[in-house]
A and B are shown apart, each in its own frame.
Chain A
């Protein structure tokens, strides 16, 4: 599904990500972990086209995606969420989702302005789809609320649902459990597996909450100072001396 081939990202003299080789199969849930500043979000940004990797190549469904613009990558089927929630703050919950629906509507500018019948039909489809998404995550009754007035946990959910509205096949979640209490984190774990099954997704997630990562991911990669120091299933990672060293520090 997704493969990064020796992706390296340098900012001046700093190598944020060094020789990253990730491979994800369809319907897997894979974790990307590592201490603060390890280069996890940078790895995300190179995959989603925010940065163009200094070296290496990103392949999605066998096609090279390197250098494509973020919106083109989303169109190809990779959607993402952000570490610090980025909802559209002057819009309500439903409108936030509808923005993401625009991509698949494929209506022209004039059809939009003139509200031509074809556009109106597509618009209705989008609204129905957006409402069904909101219903499936229990946010339907908040559709008319301002997005930023939602409690934190629901904002996180909304951001994930908004990413789903672009109809992705690969979903990248950047610290979905950040700022959540243990109870919310548990619910989130279930939620992630649930959307994977429901929408036939492949998921790559960055997370600090070990409980969440260990619980939901089948495999994981560990980054430290941009270098991949370990890779394997949760048990292997838990017992890997390099990982323990990176996280706890060893003399």
Chain B
């Protein structure tokens, strides 16, 4: 009990420290750094939602970009001013019922998640009859279908021109609040009895079914929840960048999220959080690789894509040396930290003794 109280106090202090760091960064860092910081939060939401499928339910899905697109467009169209809409839709006028609609941001954000969840529900029924790589191909196909539909529904989405001037609602506190909510949601979900059935389906579908778990329903639920958070993540992305177009939501985007999930650890919430921050920061920090470089003897004229080469090498190294990602399927916990520190101390002492 005493230990428990101690850990609660430690968690509270940790949380406060995190809030303080966020507030300080928000106040004193330049706009570019704040933007990267906030992008990490959005990637936390996205990585968690993909991890729920890939890591916890054992469904290999590559359709995330599609659900993000749905969320991004719904939220953007529901919050843009009528004037902005008229300006955007200069080729084909927008459908009349969308012209004047303008909702408060939280409502629009929730509706964006709900819309993505609904699309996820529609896709789940046929796609979840498949498994493994077949499921991956099918979800990838569905994501492309969504993208092509968006490109061609000119009067609804403004097609390939995309949307510009989306209100910039995704402030530091909004995105980090959403990230915190996503973490809390997933922790609560996975700790619950329903969460155990999700993991049971991943471990052994046949046994789960025999233990009275409605495997198909569990999979569909998990898919819908994942789509919901993907929609939220997509909407936040739109409200941060303030422009969206269909070309943003290709497989490349899904791949980035998958990279985070695998790097952080398939089946670890902690891993996804750290993975999202590390990958987002590295993506920017390594940007100099794409620029012209002067390494005394070798001069390059800028090799666009060198960044991704380095990234792939990092990914390979991780997969070679830590097959299950940085965290494996472990989670952050105070007893775990204590054990780790104890181990570290013993190692240092034994080295010092020699």
Give the B-binding residues of A (Cβ under 8 A). Answer: 48, 50, 69-71, 74-75, 79-80, 82, 86-91, 95, 98-103, 105, 107, 109, 112-115, 119, 122-123, 126, 162-163, 165-166
The one of B192, B206, B212, B329 in contact with A119, judged by C-beta atoms closer than 8 angstroms, is B192
Q: Would B214 and A89 count as touching, CB distance under 8 A?
A: no
The one of A48, A98, A122 in contact with B210, judged by C-beta atoms closer than 8 angstroms, is A48
Q: Check B213 for interface membership: any CB of A closer than 8 A.
A: yes
Q: Would A86 and B204 count as touching, CB distance under 8 A?
A: yes
A86 to B206, CA, bound (A): 8
Q: Known contacts being A88-B203, A89-B204, is A112 close to B211, with CB within 8 Å?
A: no
The B contact surface, by secondary structure, is helix
Q: Would A70 and B210 count as touching, CB distance under 8 A?
A: yes
Q: With both chains docked as a complex, state the minimum distance between the C-beta of A107 and any C-beta of chain B, in angstroms.
A: 7
Q: A50-B206, A89-B203, A100-B212 are in contact. List 9 more A-B contacts (CB 8 A).
A: A69-B209, A75-B212, A86-B206, A88-B204, A88-B207, A90-B199, A91-B200, A99-B211, A119-B193
Q: Contact size class for B?
A: 20 to 34
Q: Would A109 and B221 count as touching, CB distance under 8 A?
A: yes
Closest to A120 in B: B192
Q: Would A112 and B204 count as touching, CB distance under 8 A?
A: no
Q: Check B332 for interface membership: any CB of A closer than 8 A.
A: no
Q: Known contacts being A88-B199, A89-B203, A113-B188, is A105 close to B193, with CB within 8 Å?
A: yes
A115 to B188, CA, bound (A): 7
Q: Would B196 and A102 count as touching, CB distance under 8 A?
A: yes
A100 to B207, CA, bound (A): 10
A114 to B212, CA, bound (A): 23
> Mind listing 17 A-B residue pairs with CB under 8 Å?
A71-B209, A71-B210, A71-B213, A75-B212, A86-B204, A88-B203, A90-B329, A91-B200, A95-B196, A102-B211, A103-B213, A107-B194, A112-B192, A112-B193, A113-B194, A123-B193, A163-B210
Contact residues, B195-252 vs A (CB, 8 A): 195-197, 199-200, 202-204, 206-215, 221
Q: Would A113 and B212 count as touching, CB distance under 8 A?
A: no
**Neighbouring B residues of A91 by C-beta, 8 Å:** 196, 199-200, 203
A147 to B338, CA, bound (A): 25
Candidate in A70, A101, A102 with the most chain B CB atoms within 10 angstroms: A102
A69 to B200, CA, bound (A): 17
Q: Would B193 and A102 count as touching, CB distance under 8 A?
A: yes
Q: Would B214 and A71 count as touching, CB distance under 8 A?
A: yes
**What 1/0 mask marks residues of chain B from 322 to 337 whose CB sits below 8 Å from any chain A CB?**
0000000100000000
Q: Check B189 for interface membership: any CB of A closer than 8 A.
A: yes
Q: Would A98 and B212 count as touching, CB distance under 8 A?
A: no
**Neighbouring B residues of A165 by C-beta, 8 Å:** 211
A112 to B195, CA, bound (A): 8
A105 to B197, CA, bound (A): 12
6 smallest A-B Cβ distances: which pairs?
Answer: A103-B212, A74-B212, A86-B207, A112-B192, A88-B203, A112-B194
Q: With both chains docked as a complex, state the minimum distance between the C-beta of B84 and any C-beta of chain A, in angstroms.
A: 36
Closest to A96 in B: B200
**Neighbouring B residues of A123 by C-beta, 8 Å:** 192-193
